[in-house]
Chain A
Amino acid sequence: MTGLDTTQAVGFGVSGASLDLAIVSEATPGTRSWTGVAAHVGLMSVYGLPTSFALNVRELDLLYNIAATDTTKLDWDSVSQVDSLAVHGIDHTLDLQVSGSLDLDISGFVLAAAVLR
């Protein structure tokens, strides 16, 4: 599988996406757990709408640091066991980060583009 052929398609598509989820749980009798989420979407588009309409979201990245019940958060970039995962980029001060870019074209009447960070 190398991609989506949307030449004749009408609908919604996501390409080049990935998700890394990590959950650390302390040993019993402890009940705390910490969750890190890192997601990436290369391209999110709608297809088959009139050619005069285009909406694309590109390089969408999400980092989410979910605290334990005692509100502590893990410094995932210091946890060696997740070195190979994208959650390793999550600092203990981070709660949520979403970034990406968007472009919208409505018949040339409305053009909008933005980088979200």
Chain B
Amino acid sequence: MSEATPGTRSWTGVAAHVGLMSVYGLPTSFALNVRELDLLYNIAATDTTKLDWDSVSQVDSLAVHGIDHTLDLQVSGSLDLDISGFVLAAGSFEVTKQSGLTIADGTISLTNASLLTVELSSVYLFVGLNGAFTRDADNIVTGLDTTQAVGFGVSGASLDLAIVSEATPGTRSWTGVAAHVGLMSVYGLPTSFALNVRELDLLYNIAATDTTKLDWDSVSQVDSLAVHGIDHTLDLQVSGSLDLDISGFVLAAGSFEVTKQSGLTIADGTISLTNASLLTVELSSVYLFVGSTGRSRGMRTTS
């Protein structure tokens, strides 16, 4: 869209979709598919203004109508890669770059800020021998088949990454990371050995260069992301559960949560601290056996 002369500004909106992108004719042991790839691209005019395409009635019938004025670029889709069963990777992704945002968390207030988000979901990863995907009727990956596999696998994983940057000349940026792994296992080892990590969750709040941290749970622009659960006092939190069985000689299982917080005001009536930090380690439902012929009820080595 161009303005009338003598104006020289023009605004460009791009919306592209690819149903399936594949490589063909390579050895059957190699497969790479990109599905449902969507691109939205909002190109600013020379004065850096961007059009709010979803308010432009003349493009109602076009896919560019979905482009908001804060959006710079968005790419989404799903991908699966199979290299001879040695490396399997699959998952959905969405990368979004926005700018011109007003972001406020109650303490930090930014205008004309930019936000980059990366979302990975339904991620499956295997590295080893004889791994395979399970697929539905549409050939969409639904999981890992590790029946004959020897190696390391991750199922049901996701990652949300958000980076907020202040407008120039400011150079500060704040990063939030939220990751989840449904199951992390080793496969194909002797049946007497099992190691599983389940429901692993990570929250990570990376401070700006001035050591300020964002209160992500007050940032409306990340409402739909898991980083929205990150409080400004949180530095790092890792939680999950683990079970280990070594030939029945050593059995260990339990849930854990490790949390590091900072910027706390802690007072017990006598001792008063500001900007204090707190590290907590919680282990629960712990079972331990050392000996012979022990067996843990409910232990499973496959997903």
Mark A residues whose CB is within 8 Å of B.
1-27, 34, 47-48, 72, 74-76, 78-79, 81-82, 85, 92
B290 at the interface (CB under 8 A from A): yes
Given contacts A14-B287, A15-B287, A27-B277, 15 further A-B contacts (CB under 8 A): A1-B296, A12-B291, A13-B287, A16-B285, A18-B284, A25-B276, A27-B276, A34-B271, A47-B294, A75-B268, A76-B268, A78-B267, A79-B267, A82-B280, A85-B280
Instruction: Determine the main DSSP class of B at the interface with A.
Output: strand
Looking at the assembled complex, report how far the CB atom of A25 sits from the nearest CB atom of chain B, in whole angstroms: 5
Mark B residues whose CB is within 8 Å of A.
241, 243, 248-249, 251, 253-254, 261, 264, 266-271, 273-299
Complex CA distance for A3 and B267, rounded to whole angstroms: 39
Query: What number of A-B contacts does a CB cutoff of 8 Å give?
Result: 141
Looking at the assembled complex, report how far the CB atom of B264 sits from the nearest CB atom of chain A, in whole angstroms: 6
25 examples of A-B residue contacts, CB within 8 angstroms: A1-B287, A2-B297, A4-B296, A5-B295, A5-B296, A6-B289, A8-B293, A8-B295, A9-B248, A9-B292, A9-B294, A11-B294, A12-B290, A13-B288, A13-B290, A14-B288, A16-B286, A17-B254, A18-B284, A22-B281, A72-B271, A75-B268, A79-B267, A79-B268, A85-B280
Closest to A6 in B: B294
Complex CA distance for A76 and B292, rounded to whole angstroms: 41
Q: Which of A21, A26, A72 contacts B276 (CB 8 A)?
A: A26
Q: Is the CB of A24 within 8 A of B276?
A: yes
Given known pairs A22-B280, A47-B291, the reply for A1 and B299 (CB within 8 Å) is yes
Complex CA distance for A117 and B284, rounded to whole angstroms: 23
Q: Is the CB of A4 within 8 A of B289?
A: yes
Contacts of A4 in B (CB 8 A): 251, 287, 289, 294-297
- List the 8 closest pairs (A to B, CB-CB), nearest first: A11-B291, A75-B268, A17-B286, A27-B275, A78-B268, A21-B281, A19-B283, A13-B289
Complex CA distance for A74 and B241, rounded to whole angstroms: 30
Looking at the assembled complex, report how far the CB atom of A110 sits from the nearest CB atom of chain B, in whole angstroms: 23
Contacts of B289 in A (CB 8 A): 4, 6, 9, 11-14, 47
Complex CA distance for A23 and B273, rounded to whole angstroms: 13
Q: Which of A9, A15, A20, A34 contacts B282 (CB 8 A)?
A: A20
Contacts of B293 in A (CB 8 A): 8-10, 48
Q: Which of B273, B279, B291 contacts A10 (CB 8 A)?
A: B291
Q: Is the CB of B294 within 8 A of A13?
A: yes
Looking at the assembled complex, report how far the CB atom of A76 sits from the nearest CB atom of chain B, in whole angstroms: 7
Complex CA distance for A74 and B270, rounded to whole angstroms: 8
Complex CA distance for A5 and B299, rounded to whole angstroms: 11
Q: Is the CB of A11 within 8 A of B292?
A: yes
Closest to B295 in A: A5
Contacts of A21 in B (CB 8 A): 279-282
Q: Is the CB of A75 within 8 A of B276?
A: no
Contacts of A23 in B (CB 8 A): 278-280
Looking at the assembled complex, report how far the CB atom of B30 sits from the nearest CB atom of chain A, in whole angstroms: 39
Looking at the assembled complex, report how far the CB atom of A77 sits from the nearest CB atom of chain B, in whole angstroms: 8
Complex CA distance for A81 and B265, rounded to whole angstroms: 9
Q: Is the CB of B243 within 8 A of A5?
A: no
Contacts of A26 in B (CB 8 A): 273, 276
Contacts of A16 in B (CB 8 A): 285-287
Q: Is the CB of A74 within 8 A of B287?
A: no
Looking at the assembled complex, report how far the CB atom of A71 sits from the nearest CB atom of chain B, in whole angstroms: 12
Q: Is the CB of B291 within 8 A of A92?
A: no
Looking at the assembled complex, report how far the CB atom of A104 sits from the nearest CB atom of chain B, in whole angstroms: 19
Q: Is the CB of B278 within 8 A of A9?
A: no
Q: Is the CB of A81 within 8 A of B261?
A: yes
Q: Is the CB of B241 within 8 A of A1?
A: yes
